Amino acid sequence: MVTQIKFGTSGWRAVIAEEFTFANVRRAVHGIARYVVSQKPQTARVIVGRDPRFLGETFCAMAADILSAHGITPLVIAEAAPTPAISYAVIREQADGAINFTASHNPPEYNGIKFSTPDGAPALPEATKRIEAEIVAFDGGSVVPAPRAKPAPHALDPRGMYLARLAEIIDLQVIKKAGLRVAFDAFWGAACGYPDSLLREAGVEVASVHDYRDVLFGGHAPEPDDHLLNDLRETMRQTKAHIGIATDGDADRFGIVDQDGAFFQPNYIIALLFDYLVESRGWKNGVGKSVATTNLINALAEHHHVELYETPVGFKYIGELIKADKIVIGGEESAGLSIRHHVPEKDGILAGLLCCEMVARRGKPLSRQLHDLFGKVGSFYPKRENFRLTPEVKAKFTGRLALNPRDFFGRKVTELVRTDGLKLICQDGSWVCYRLSGTEPVVRVYSEAGSEQDLDKLSAAAKQWIFE
């Protein structure tokens, strides 16, 4: 049976040699090429890039051949490149999109395809549905007229243009003058030699970790999460670094470690950077966040008299706000953010460098800055959990999501939000959000309360509501 290729919130991902096969990659690329031709029949140009995963070079060569066969000029990036750098290259080169072979933070046995549209943003659902339909048409033998000539691939290196843009955004001199010492963990990924090189050229002391290619990513997922950052912490200890920054496999996600080794969850980083950008840049045009991201941002928006935009989960929706210049910063609790006048795509490198600038300018570790933030707008303690569901429990729970509860284990529910899943907002400011996964029998549960003790109670209640 032919595999149905579905593009989710961040493209199509699958296990290499199971569903991510040469045959299926060809089908996917043919579908993308047909879509591009439908949008621009003449002189289309599409960037082809990758992260450092196994067979990435082979997939890029294959994609370039297929694009050429459709009359599209492939702009091929030879080395592994960060997703945000590819996004910026689409904008700078005025390309008609980008095919990026990456599975982002997924384990090493995965690979994937992200497709960016001509604005440098992740393809919106209307585009990915068209691509899926073009794959089906290709499978059925539907023929696209052959081009008059097959364009030869052109080489493209996005590194210089992207780093030059970051140098315009980040106040590197503030970081240098503060004498900030930085440790950077590339997780064997696409950001190797990106933020650390930029900082070193500015005269900042940087120690790099895992800054070489390893297609197995050290034997685990290239995800800059708390439990995988011990090598970064050790390097920080040895170099007496003031901050540790990390990126995932394709550098669209970030991980931040404070000078005492404490991991700072992305919810707090987005809130701190929002507050900092309003303070340091004077921007007050709005702030964007997914429905599952901390309401600390809501409180800060009110404090700064800034309009709040709450989106479904998926950075493509934040990207639309950035393109329209409606927001200072947009972010998701899953460690994705970007800012005004930058790419409409998650940028983990930018996030780490902005944190360095913020710590340098304010002269305070992140823990102290968060304490000050809580002093301004109150305390917020968020949490995310995943629960696997049996078919019976999933069917019952799916029905429950259609209910309109007015009480949640003794808490009065004052608002129901169905932007994405079901979010119950309680009178005391605490909330729970339930989202069913579209790809596996899992429910994602996000909860937030005003104290750690209350969060424990709320989290227990949130789990009970699923299985009772």
Compute the distance between CA of residue 183 and CA of residue 190 in angstroms, rounded to an integer: 17
The domain locations on the chain are 12-157, 161-377, 381-467
**CATH for 381-467?**
3.30.310.50
Q: Output the pLDDT for position 2.
A: 76
Whether residue 444 contacts residue 464, with contact meaning beta carbons closer than 8 Å, is answered with no
Q: Which CATH architecture has domain 161-377?
A: 3-Layer(aba) Sandwich (3.40)
Q: Output the pLDDT for position 1.
A: 62
Structure token digits, residue 169: 């955004």
Q: Matching CATH topology for 12-157 and 381-467?
A: no
Identity (one letter) of the amino acid at 401?
A: L
Structure token digits, residue 293: 């991201």
Q: Output the pLDDT for position 149.
A: 81
The CATH class of 12-157 is alpha beta
Residue pLDDT tens, the chain, 468 long: 678 898 876 789 999 999 999 999 999 999 999 999 999 988 999 999 999 999 999 999 999 999 999 999 999 999 999 999 999 999 999 999 999 999 999 999 999 999 999 999 999 999 999 999 999 999 988 877 777 789 999 999 999 999 999 999 999 999 999 999 999 999 999 999 999 999 999 999 999 999 999 999 999 999 999 999 999 999 999 999 999 999 999 999 999 999 999 999 999 999 999 999 999 999 999 999 999 999 999 999 999 999 999 999 989 899 999 999 999 999 999 999 999 999 999 999 999 999 999 999 999 999 999 999 999 999 999 999 999 999 999 999 999 999 999 999 999 999 999 999 999 999 999 999 999 987 788 999 999 999 999 999 999 999 999 998
Q: Could you tell me which residues are beta bridge partners of residue 311?
A: 290
Q: Output the pLDDT for position 8.
A: 78
Compute the distance between CA of residue 34 and CA of residue 107 in angstroms, rounded to an integer: 30
Q: Output the pLDDT for position 336.
A: 96
Distance, first Cα to last Cα, the chain: 39
CA 402 vs CA 78, 418, 443: distances in Å:
49, 10, 15
Residue 82: name the closest of 200, 183, 222, 208 by CA: 222
Compute the distance between CA of residue 311 and CA of residue 309 in angstroms, rounded to an integer: 6
SS3 280: helix
Q: Output the pLDDT for position 10.
A: 76
